[in-house]
Each structure stands twice: as C-alpha cells, then as structure tokens.
A and B are shown apart, each in its own frame.
Chain A
Amino acid sequence: MPDIYNAFLSRIEISSSVSGPLSGIRVAVKDNISTKNIPTTCASKILLGYIPPYDAHAVELLKAAGATIAGKTNMDEFGMGTTTENSAFCPALNPRDVTRVAGGSSGGSAAAVAGGLVPMALGSDTGGSIRCPASYCGIVGLKPSYGRVSRYGLIAYANSFEQIGPMAANVADTAKLFSVIAGHDSRDSTSVSKPYDLTGLYAGIKGKIVGVPKEYFGEGVDKHVAAAVTAAIDRLEDLGAAIREVSLPSLQYALAAYYVTCTCEASSNLDRFDGVRYGPEPEMNLPWHDAYTSVRKMGFGPEVRRRILLGTFSLSAGHYGKYYVKAQHAKQLIRRDFFRVLTDCDLLAGPTMPNVAPKLGELIADPLQMYQTDILTVPVNIAGIPAISVPCGTAHGMPVGLQLMGRMFGEDDLLNAALAYEEAI
C-alpha cells in the first residue's frame, strides 16, 4: 500500500522466523527507537546516515515475538512537537482528513495505523506523544507507567518522562502489543519488573470508581470535545462504573514543570550530536566548538534549537535554582495529587486533547500556543502513571480521544475499561 500519509521515513519488511504472539503481524516502529542495521533518524537531519549497531530492547522483544518490522515512522524531530510538522522530512498527514495534522510526536505511527498500513505500531510518549496522535487520528494509544517498558534504545528526549508504548486500531491489539514489550530490562536502571499478561482483559469496568478531574474540563477545552468526552464518561457509568468529580489543584504547575524539565534534559541529551561518532561530518580542520556549531546549526530544526536554547538557559548559572529545582518540586506535588485521588478512584477520565486535529500550519508559528495543547497529556508523564487514549466519537467531524488515567502499574484497569467502552459503542 502506498504511503500517501507520509507515515514512514523508511519502509522495510524484516520478518522474524520466530513463532510467537506477533507472528505474521506487521508492526511499525517510531524512528526514535533504535533498530540494528536500519537507519534511525528521529526525523532529524543530524542523524542522517546513522545506522545503529544495536536494537532497542522493545525491538528485540518484537522480533522475539515473531513480528515483522514494517518500517520506521515519521515524527516530530526528536519527539518535540504535537503535530509531526517538526519532522525534518515533511509532516505526516491525518488519514481522517489529509489537510489536518496527524498529531505528534508519534504522528507517523498513528497515521500508519489509522491509514490501514499496519495493524499496530510502537510510539513513544514524553508528554502525550502517543495519546495526542491516537486521539487526532482516531486510534488507541497507551502511555505505560514509567519504568514498565525499557527505554534502552529509545533515543532520549526527556528521560524522566518518556516511555515506549503501543498504538493500534483497537484496544485488544494495543493490549497484545503491550504484553510483548512490558517487563524488566537490566540495561535500563529505571526499569521495573512488571510484565503484563492478557488474561484479565475482559474483566470490564463494573464496580470501578472513575474520577473526573474538573481541571480536565477547564478553559481552553473545546466545548464539542468536552461534550463527546462527557458522553463517553456517561457510557462508563452505564457500564457499571461509579463516577466522581475530583480535583487536582497542582495541575496549574504541570505545563511549566513539564517544559522546564524536558527542555533541560533535552538540551543535555542532544549535546552529543556533534557529527564525530555518527551523523553529518564536521569540518575536521576547524576548532571543535566551531566545527560542532556548524554541524548542529545545520542539523537541528527550529523547534529543537528553541528547546535546546530554553534548556541550556534554564540550567545555566544563576537560573538552575529558579527553574529546574522548582520544577522537581512541582513534579512531586503533582504526583502526590494524582496518588491522592487515585487512592479512592480506580481510574481518572477526561479528554486526551483539548481540541481536534488542527489544520496543517495552524499552530506552527506560535510555540507557546502549541505547548498549551499538551496541557491534558503532560500531567501523567510528570506523575509517572499510565494513561490510554481511546476514540470516543467526533467533534467538528474529527475524532476525539477519551483519556483514561490509572494507578502506577494499573495498565490492566485502563485496558479493561477501554475495552469495555470500545465494545459498548
């Protein structure tokens, strides 16, 4: 099938001879996940020509489960964006309306699934990068609990927030892919031993308490989106869940805490791209700072350079205490807030995105406005808890995502609830 959505950066068909739960299933892999002997670019010119000599842990698991690697998918450069317009290799298009963005940063993975090119894909979620494109393209996407899937081989954008996660056309496939990639990996010091198995998937949602944080229906949430999500929450009640309004007051700090932390970490993570060991060749006869500067100026796109500048500034002498340190304390408040409401509630529900997929070019000029569309997805990355986006009707003719958030390592509750909802509509 031709890739009319620009979902892939490279298409390959590497089938595994192993027989396993994914035998014969084609899986697309986001291009920030390292694949041995297959170019891995993070949709950046700075990684042009780079061929990893190793597989990410998640890719090893895919191969061991018998999957066919169908290609590497388009994304916002290094995961920095909400639309995949920050790809150095043209945006991915939304299969539901090709004049609109696919969402980001895992826009290629979402478009590949929504466009029917593959049944499932791996994405990565730092501040919503799986859930946002899943919501915009009308598919299912799961951001696992921090540590549940190994980050080994995932090219780091913001280490303390990100996870590799499954994306698929339906909940059952999402759960199946998740069951393959979850588990401990000794090469990631933040990895925990929490495998996932599919046996309880049809447990339903009866008797579960679903909290609805009022902050998820605040100013800036499109009222048609809010209406679709409210209807979905009513549906959960019909299915036997008890609905309760809750509040997470610390969310006022979430976006700032998120962007401070992720730009600080990113600025440091991305300093290694100097062309010496991989990437475009630096001018060897220039002094190193000059050679590096010209490679990096050419190799990074505007959004990446903006975030490197922001992070570098926030970490520099005299600013660290005001930004980074405060962001860590905000993170703690937010985590405590979530843990508190999730003592009484089994799940939380709200919209994934405050809007539907914008038109191509609509948000690109104003970075801060684009950052603000992450307001409903970043909190769970800060708290480390899992969240899933599942399609729940439309607004303005485009898909809307219902976001379910759970306790630490409570993915089974999320998947069971999402499946029950999916089957009921």
Chain B
Amino acid sequence: MADEETNVIIGLEVHCQLDTKSKLFCGCSANFRADAPNTHVCPVCLGLPGALPVLNKNAIEFALRVAKALNCTFTKEGEFCRKNYFYPDLVKAYQITMGDSPLATGGYIEIEDDAGNPKIVSLTRIHVEEDPGRLVHMGSKERGHYTLVDYNRSGIPLIEMVTEPELSSPKEARRLLSKLRATLEYLDVFDPEKDGSIRVDANISFRGHERVEIKNISSYKGVEKALTFEITRQKNLIRRGGTIARETRHFQERKGTTSSARSKETATDYRYFPEPDLPVIRVADWVETIALPELPDARRDRFMQQYSIAVGHARTITGDLRLAEFYEGIVDVGATVAASWVADILIGELNYRGMALETVTTRAQEFKNLISLVRSKTITDKAGVEVLRVWLDNLYAGDRTETPAQIVARLGLSREDGSSFRVIVEQTLASNHQAIADHKAGKKGALNFIVGQVLKETKGKSEPREIHAMVAELIGE
C-alpha cells in the first residue's frame, strides 16, 4: 500500500429515503415510482402559495429508531429549518431540513477495516429532511434548452446520517454503507430495492491537503468507484507538485470519474433559519418507548453461537435481512451445509444472473429439498450446483414447474456407487502412465490430474474423495 493511501481521510453523508406510506409534510403517497409524473403532488409538496407543512410522525419515529440503533445522543430539542437556494427541483426555493438542532448527535457504527479488524466509525449527526423533485431532462440541443421536472419525489422523507472523517479507504466506505443499509433494513425503515433510495456525498482528503466533496453518488458501488478515482487523481496531482483545490465534484457513474462542479454552484449562502411553520420536537420520552429489534451484529453473533457456523458465513448471511430470514427458514436442513450453500453458492449464482433474492425466498422449500438431496448423498456437491443452476435458469426464464428432484431425474444426475466407475478409472489409468510415473517420482498433484479426468468422464455423478481412494488402491497404495 502506498504511503499516501494510509493517509486518506474519508467522511460520508448518507441520505436514505425513509419507507413511510405518505410524504414528510403532506399526505401524498410516497409510493410514486410506477406512476405518471406530477400525480403524487398536492398544494404542500408543490409549494403552492399558502400551503403549510405538517410533520409525518412515522418519519420521526423511523429516524429515532435509527439513531437509537446507532447509539446516538438525542438532542433536547430538534428544530426544522429552511435551507434557501434556487433550483427548479425545489418547489419552495428552500428545503426544510435540520440545522443546528438535529434529532441526534454522536453515535457510532462498527465495521471491519481492510485488515479484517473491528473498527469504530463515529457519527456526527442524524437528521430528517425533505427530498426535492426530480429533473428528468436537463436541456439539450435536440430537445430544447429547457428542463423538465417531475415533483412526485418532492417531499419524500430522507434521513441524513453524517460520519466523522474516520474512514481510511474506499472499501471501508463501502463496508460502512453496507452496514448502514443492513441496519436500516433490520429496523424496517428503509427499502434498498427502490431505485434512487440512497444518495451519498463523500468528503475525501489526503492528510495535509484540502478536502474535496463528491456530491450525489447514488449507489454503493459508485461510492467505492468515485473514491478510488479521486484517490488516484489527487495522488497524481500531489506527485506532480500540484495543489488540491477545496471544491465540490460530481461523479459520472457511467465513466467512473469525477469532475469539478462550477464554483458558482458551491458559493451559495443558504441563509438557514428556523422553519416558522413547524413547532420544535422533543423526543426524550418518546425514545424511551422505542424497542429495537435484533440488529445485524447481534444476529451474526447469535447465528455463530446457535448454529455453529463460521464468522464469514454468519456475517454474509446477516448482512442482508432477507437473506438472514431465508437462512433461518431452512436451517433445519443442516446449519453448516445450509450456511455454505447460501453464502458460498446461492448469492454468487443469483448475482451472476442479476436475479433478486425474492425469486428464491418465495421457494425456500425447493431450495431446502435441493440441499437435502446433497446431504443424503443422492447427488454429489457438484451435481447439486448443477441442479441449482438449472433450477435458477428455469426460474429466470419464468418456468416454475420443475423441482430440483425432477431436474435430477431428468438429467440423470443421481449419484452412482463408486464401483460402477471402476472400469472408467482403470481405462484412465491405462492411458496415463506418465502421470502415474510422475506421482511415484513424488510430484505433487499428479494424481489429481487422473481424478479430474475421471470426474469429467462420469459427469459429476461421482464423489472426488471416492475416486481418489479408488485410484490410490489401483496403483497399489
């Protein structure tokens, strides 16, 4: 690792849409994604003259859950304020947010550093604010230089969580986001599957140099990419003797690069002042009544203890609430084998196909049956993977009729007794004298070649361990 990299300082501002039914200050439905533009708006979220905000209690309840789960200190009095600036997506020319008096301050999140050791990252503050509308067309020569705006998103509740600049690498940043995402999911306040439901601003600097802010990154991967790009850019600049300008940069998701925002945009004076239309909030008593569910770390530890599974498996499985619930639903098939199938095989196969976890969680019994087939030695591990792939391919194609057992039958993948392969083993040995000679000369792995040939020939119906034993026996060992 280069010297500069150990000196990278990263802080994040994470905005997540809270999964309420209605918007933050009005009763418009927050479930707007599938609907026509400007159909989820009312005088309040359209900023019509005379309309007034009324605070959604659930949005605050959700934010309090998050703050409690992240060990924050609650402020005596939370106060909404106005952040004044002009932009076509902002209906009132101010965003109702929280300034000097957020809901909570302090707190921390535990992640792992790049060496795998636990690391505590401090939080600065947590507050709630409204999302602006969405620009769908920013002006072009072809379509005209104007902008087109959809205000359906205007007024969706956001929780903003700000970390101290204590992260040391893009990977740490990504792990923090995953942890945060899992926590919010466990708290039942956030739906990460919704498009654009998370947005991140990242501050990054090299010790002794100016800080750069990268605005509005809209995916976990994007954060890691943007930071990685920024590290390279800044490192090169420093090496060439240049100076890092304190500035705001935008991330181009497609190119994976950042570019300087015009200084005009950053020089704004937001003229914060308390929102006169909203009374302050006092949450001390309320917070006492909030009971937290089991959180990712606690569940990880419980899984390790209760099911005796490895820390890596436990961490992966509990890192996603739905995965953890899915695992617990099938755990009676055998905790260790189930953990391995879920964490080592299933996730990769789903990601490879771009399939959602829900495809499988709704058919947990079939997945469980598949693992049973392997456990009972009806099929080999390898055949099991093959069956999973076929099953997923079927589901991907919309075919939900064939069960894993039927796939095994159709493809004739049932494990056969080792003795039925004796002929194949003998033939393979006969045509590979060199490998046997190499083995006898002490060359490691020479037999593996022969075993591999046999496995290939038997199309996964044989168990490597058994073939290995048979080969050893036949060459007289």
Contact = CB atoms under 8 A, between A and B. Distances in A.
A315 B146 CA distance: 31
A317 B273 CA distance: 11
**Shortest 5 CB-CB contacts between residues of A and residues of B:** A271-B93, A284-B146, A315-B271, A159-B276, A155-B49
Contacts of A277: 46-48, 91
A268 B53 contact: no
Contacts of B71: none
B276 A276 contact: no
A33 B146 CA distance: 32
A7 B87 CA distance: 37
A285 B146 contact: yes
B232 to A, nearest CB: 33
A159 B277 contact: yes
Interface in B3-62: 43, 46-55
A375 interface: no
A320 B48 CA distance: 27
B149 interface: yes
Which of B55, B84, B271 lies at the interface centre, i.e. has the most chain A CB atoms within 10 A of its CB? B271
Given A268-B94, A315-B273, A320-B273, A288 B88 contact: yes
Contact of B84 (A47, A187, A268, A324): A268
A47 B48 CA distance: 11
Contact of A315 (B84, B88, B91, B276): B84
Contacts of A156: 49-50, 277
B64 to A, nearest CB: 19
A40 interface: yes
Given A40-B50, A274-B93, 9 more contacts: A153-B50, A188-B52, A188-B54, A189-B55, A271-B84, A274-B86, A277-B91, A278-B48, A285-B144
A160 interface: yes
A258 interface: no
A54 B48 contact: yes
Which of A42, A54, A56, A160 lies at the interface centre, i.e. has the most chain B CB atoms within 10 A of its CB? A54
B82 interface: yes
23 contacts: A32-B50, A40-B49, A52-B49, A152-B52, A156-B49, A160-B276, A187-B54, A267-B271, A268-B94, A271-B93, A272-B91, A277-B46, A277-B91, A278-B48, A284-B145, A284-B147, A285-B144, A285-B146, A288-B88, A316-B271, A317-B271, A320-B271, A324-B273
A189 B93 contact: no
A272 B92 contact: yes
A320 B88 CA distance: 26
B48 A52 contact: yes
B412 interface: no
Contacts of A265: 276
A151 B149 CA distance: 28
Contact of B94 (A52, A271, A292, A312): A271
Interface in B170-192: none
A189 B26 CA distance: 12
A288 B93 CA distance: 12
A160 B144 CA distance: 42
Given A54-B48, A156-B49, A289 B146 contact: no
A34 interface: yes
Nearest to B275: A159
Interface of A: 32-34, 40, 42, 47, 50, 52-54, 56, 151-156, 159-160, 186-190, 264-265, 267-268, 271-274, 276-278, 284-285, 288-289, 292, 312, 315-317, 320, 324
Contact of B145 (A40, A278, A285): A285
A316 B277 CA distance: 20
B273 to A, nearest CB: 6
Contact of B50 (A34, A186, A276): A34
B83 to A, nearest CB: 10
A64 B144 CA distance: 47
B278 interface: yes
B86 A268 contact: no
A386 B123 CA distance: 46
B466 to A, nearest CB: 73
A172 B216 CA distance: 59
Contact of A187 (B46, B49, B52): B52
A151 B52 CA distance: 8
B102 to A, nearest CB: 18
Nearest to A186: B54
A268 B92 CA distance: 8
Contact of B279 (A56, A189, A267): A189
Given A159-B276, A284-B145, A189 B52 contact: yes
B277 A190 contact: yes
A317 B149 CA distance: 30
B269 interface: yes
Contacts of B46: 277
